[in-house]
Amino acid sequence: MRKIIVGTFVSLDSIMQAPGGPEEDPTGGFKYGGWSTTYWDDVIEKAMGETFAEPFDLLLGRKTYDIFAAHWPYVEQDPVADSFDKLNGDIAKMFNGITKYVATHHPESLGWVNSEALGDDIPARLHDLKASDGPTLLVQGSSELIQILLEHDLVDEFRLLIYPLVLGEGKRLFGSGTQPVGFKVTKSVVSPSGVILVTYERAGGIKTGSFAMENPTEAELERRRTLS
């Protein structure tokens, strides 16, 4: 059984669009591309390294796949080259070698090595992947694919980096089709730059209760009657 983990950068108001740069995803007139970049610090770098240290395959929407495919295959991996950066070189080698499962209508155009289309029935394919043997399925970016995962209750874990800013509008992590489900915090830390890094794992259904009086007052009963 494989887990689906969603790892994403998100603002306080749940915006996840274009954290890495102005040209990453300006669709819809989004003006704040690159909003996460000035917060990078050693704690965030360590957390990203820990995520990528575990065995995983990538689960990507087509737009994020295209961003990755235009970048990671071209990152220098030769340690003696002047432009070599170990962190990025190691990630590039890893991303090139693992399987990339992609939600796309044009599977013939997947040119990055080890890429595989999810097919026409994405939820069914995801259920099959989760039931199979193999490493964790790690989602990066891919806001539209995430909505499919949330609608079909397929997310086992969130690894969120919550940034201390409000963006107002843009593509949101949690859309209107999200299914109710409970999660528990299994790890959290605040980075020096103020980013909250938190891991949420599934914890069953939604549990409800009440702080109301056991015997409601007449005023409370009237309030209930007048609710629209």
pTM reported for the whole predicted model: 0.92
DSSP letter for 15, please: B
- How far, in Å, CA of 41 to CA of 194, rounded? 10
Question: Using one digit for the tens of pLDDT, what is the confidence trace for 116-160?
Answer: 999 999 999 999 999 999 999 999 999 999 999 999 999 999 999
Q: Residue ranges per domain, the chain?
A: 4-225
Question: Using one digit for the tens of pLDDT, what is the confidence trace for 24-76?
Answer: 999 999 999 999 999 999 999 999 999 999 999 999 999 999 999 999 999 99
- How far, in Å, CA of 147 to CA of 85, rounded? 34
Question: Using one digit for the tens of pLDDT, what is the confidence trace for 168-197?
Answer: 999 999 999 999 999 999 999 999 999 999
- How far, in Å, CA of 168 to CA of 105, rounded? 31
Cβ contact 143:18 at 8 Å: no
Helix (H) or strand (E) holding 111: none
CATH T-level fold of 4-225: Dihydrofolate Reductase, subunit A (3.40.430)
